[in-house]
């Protein structure tokens, strides 16, 4: 089964004003940038109705998209 707490180093481009805003937030909230970005991504995915489904036969959870045919309303 996939460990939801496993972390992998990533790199990405970020608008400077957003990075500066997040730097202020980390100071105000007393948390790390890693924590804040992970929480932001988790909340964004949840707000868009993306989630991890129960583990498949292979034991790995599958991403459920709100645009999948199975997730579409009849």
Q: What is the pLDDT of residues 20-34, one digit of tens each?
A: 999 999 999 999 999
What local confidence, expressed as pLDDT, does residue 55 receive? 46
Residue 5, pLDDT above cutoff 80: yes
Is the model's pTM score more than 0.75?
no
More confident residue, 8 or 67: 8
More confident residue, 3 or 2: 3
Structural domain boundaries in the chain: 16-71
Report the distance separating Cα 48 and Cα 73, nearest Å: 15
CA distances to 2, 30, 31, 33, 51 from 25, in Å? 30, 8, 8, 9, 26
More confident residue, 62 or 45: 45
Q: Is the dihedral of CA 9, 14, 18, 20 positive or negative?
A: positive
């Amino acid at each position: 089964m996939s460990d939801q707490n496993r972390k992998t180093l990533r790199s990405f481009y970020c608008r400077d004003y957003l990075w500066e805003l997040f730097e202020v937030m980390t100071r105000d909230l007393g948390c790390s940038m890693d924590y804040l970005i992970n929480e932001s991504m988790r909340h964004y995915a949840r707000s868009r109705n993306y989630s991890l489904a129960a583990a498949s036969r292979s034991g790995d959870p599958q991403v459920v998209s709100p645009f999948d045919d199975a997730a579409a309303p009849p």
